[in-house]
Structures are given as C-alpha cells and as structure tokens.
C-alpha cells in the first residue's frame, strides 16, 4: 500500500501558473498535476508556452502569477533545492563541445558532488547504459546528433534525479535515434523517475502516460492519449476520390469540417458531427460522384486539431 501511495504522489502541482513578458501572455493560468514515475507530455506548436512552462518548473523563470510546487518545494522560494534535485535537458546541445565525452561527464559529476569510487562507478554505468564507452575520448563537438543526445541524457541523469525535464529533446536526431531515446526514457520511468517531455511530434506524444495539449499558452486538453482519442467530440473519415486537391479545398470551407489533410491519394477529414458520414458523403459526391467515404479511428492529431480549433474560436469570441 505504501508503494502504491507513493506511485500516486504528485511530483509537480501548479494552479493558475502564468508568465507575462510585457503585454505578451506566454503561459496563461495553467493547472498541472504530474504524478511520480509517469511520463507526462507537453504537446503543442512552437510558441505555445512549453519551454516557458518548463523553465518555470525548473526555477529558472519566476512566475508572474499562480502557485507551483515541484518535489514538495514551493517555487520560487525553494528554487535552489529543486535545481539540485532535478535533471534538465534542452533542445540545444548544452555541454562543452571542446571537451571529450569523459571530460564532460567528469565535470558534471564534480558539479553534483560525486567523488572517488562512487563517481567512477556511476560514470562507468553511464558509459555502458548510453553506449558511450567507445566514445569516451571523442570531443563532444565531433559526435553525431544521436550520440550528442545520448551524452546529454547521461549528463542529465548522472546524479539520479527524481524528476527529469526534457524540452523537445529529439528535434535534431534521426528516427532510429528517437526510438532508442524513448526506450531509455521508459527505462528511467520504470526505475521510478518522473519525466516531463515537451514535443511537437504526434508519435512521441502518443507514447506518454498522460498528455497536456497547449495552445497560445493555455491548457486545451489533458489526459491519457487513449482517453483523449476516445473522447474526441466528432468523427474522422477517410475520403478516396479522383480529385483530392479539389475536394480538400471545398471541404476546408465547410463550417462543420475541423480539419482536412491529404495523405497520399486520400483525404483525412475531421468533422464536429457524430452523424457525419452521410453529411460528408453528400458534399464530397457533389464534387466527385465516385468518391468513397469511410469512418476511421481517431488519432492524436485529430485530438490536437479539434482542441486547438476550439481554442482559436474561443479566443476570437
């Protein structure tokens, strides 16, 4: 029971978290509850407030308004304590490119107060876990994107933080490196580390245990990817037709169409109607009499489109 209670413990709690830069509201009254050992995702376009929120949670930025607690420490009062207890990995490689892999990690070990045999053991563990052993004497600046990513992750978890914050960590690596990186994140979560990961990749967002969708600094959807897809307010269809571009342009003007995208020779259409099949078929066949309309399962991109469309309508109102 004690282990179960600890698993449900909140590691990050925020109420009304807000950050203003002059007249710009970068983060707008955000509420968060991130539990221990889960991978919690931030999904949203550039400029939606993901990085600003992470910097506030790290204690690097002071909120303009609201309350936030990280690892039981109220911020900004407990910022220095939090900084020592978390790991932080940015989108941009932030280690020393003119130092070797070994020198970078030894420097970080010293910063975190690791000394002697315990430091050597932990460094050897990092070399093995993140496949850095053969790269120890290579300058960090000569590494590939995937190798730099592994080094940065090793540096971020060297001191065994309870909480790891990652700000779009896979934006500059190839698909195989992204898959390997996510395997490493699941290993960390399995060992009890809590992870908050920002991304703009839908496939990465679907890997998270829970997910927050941000738009214009506001939280527009929150829950597990499966729950968000199940609760999508509308219907999704595949349209097979001979003139997909013409049909797409026509559907984009329809009030009940939230999104339409061409995928190969087909269209994926998201409507706000639960009874949308007959309605959509009538409109599509007015343009292409041989068009076929088939209902398909919702995906996370549909959720994102619906949530951000609703947010835009509310902002305009």
Cross-strand bridge partners of residue 236: 270, 296
157 plus 261 within the same structural domain = no
Give me the CATH number covering residue 154. 3.40.50.300
Considering the domain boundaries, does residue 309 fall inside one? no
Q: What is the pLDDT of residue 27?
A: 97
What residue numbers bound the domain in which 257 lies? 233-297
The values of phi and psi at residue 285, to 5°, are -75, -15
Q: What is the pLDDT of residue 47?
A: 87
| Strands, sheet with 266-271, edge to edge from the N-terminal-most edge strand | 257-263, 266-271, 235-240, 292-296
Q: What is the pLDDT of residue 313?
A: 57
Chunked into runs of 10 residues, the chain (317 residues) has average pLDDT values of: 60 97 96 97 90 94 96 94 93 92 97 95 97 96 94 96 94 86 96 95 93 94 95 92 94 92 94 85 92 94 88 59
Global pTM value: 0.89
Considering the domain boundaries, does residue 176 fall inside one? yes
Half-sphere exposure of 208 (CA within 13 A, CB side): 31
Considering the domain boundaries, does residue 53 fall inside one? yes
Q: Is 77 exposed, middle or buried (0-12, 13-18, 19+ CB in 10 A)?
A: exposed
Q: What is the pLDDT of residue 3?
A: 47
The pLDDT tens digits for 70-89 are 999 999 999 999 999 999 99
Considering the domain boundaries, does residue 152 fall inside one? yes
Tell me how far CA of residue 255 lies from CA of 125, 259, 268, 306, in angstroms.
Answer: 57, 10, 16, 13
38 plus 125 within the same structural domain = yes
Considering the domain boundaries, does residue 308 fall inside one? no
Q: How many domains, in total, are found in the chain?
A: 2
270 plus 204 within the same structural domain = no
Task: Return all residues near 22 (Cβ < 8 A) that are at least 6 apart.
Answer: none
Angstrom distance (rounded) from CA 132 to CA 182: 17
173 plus 38 within the same structural domain = yes
Give me the CATH number covering residue 260. 3.30.70.100
DSSP secondary structure letter of residue 130: T
Q: What is the pLDDT of residue 312?
A: 64
65 plus 153 within the same structural domain = yes
């Amino acid at each position: 029971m004690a282990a179960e209670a600890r698993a449900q413990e909140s590691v990050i709690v925020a109420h009304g978290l807000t950050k203003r830069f002059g007249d710009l509201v970068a983060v707008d009254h955000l509420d968060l509850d991130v539990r221990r050992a889960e991978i919690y995702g931030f999904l949203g376009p550039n400029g939606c407030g993901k990085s600003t929120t992470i910097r506030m949670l790290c204690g690097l930025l002071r909120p303009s308004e609201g309350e936030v607690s990280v690892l039981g420490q109220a911020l900004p009062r407990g910022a220095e304590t939090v900084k020592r207890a978390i790991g932080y990995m940015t989108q941009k490689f932030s280690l020393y490119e003119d130092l070797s892999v070994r020198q970078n990690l030894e420097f970080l070990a010293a910063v975190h107060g690791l000394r002697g045999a315990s430091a050597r053991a932990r460094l050897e563990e990092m070399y093995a876990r993140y496949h850095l052993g053969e790269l120890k004497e290579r300058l960090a600046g000569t590494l590939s994107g995937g190798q730099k990513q592994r080094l940065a992750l090793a540096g971020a978890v060297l001191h065994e933080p309870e909480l790891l914050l990652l700000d779009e960590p896979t934006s500059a690596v190839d698909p195989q490196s992204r898959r390997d990186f996510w395997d490493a994140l699941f290993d960390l979560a399995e060992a009890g580390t809590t992870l908050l990961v920002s991304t703009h990749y839908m496939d990465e967002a679907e890997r998270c245990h829970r997910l927050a969708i941000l738009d214009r600094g506001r939280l527009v959807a929150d829950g597990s990817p499966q729950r968000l897809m199940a609760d999508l307010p509308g219907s999704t269809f595949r349209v097979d037709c001979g003139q997909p571009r013409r049909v797409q342009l026509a559907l984009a003007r329809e009030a009940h169409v939230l999104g339409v995208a061409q995928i190969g020779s087909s269209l994926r259409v998201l409507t706000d109607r639960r009874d949308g099949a007959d309605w959509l078929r009538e409109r599509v066949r007015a343009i292409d009499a041989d068009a076929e309309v088939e209902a398909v399962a919702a995906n996370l991109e549909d959720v994102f489109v619906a949530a951000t469309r609703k947010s835009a309508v509310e902002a305009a109102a």
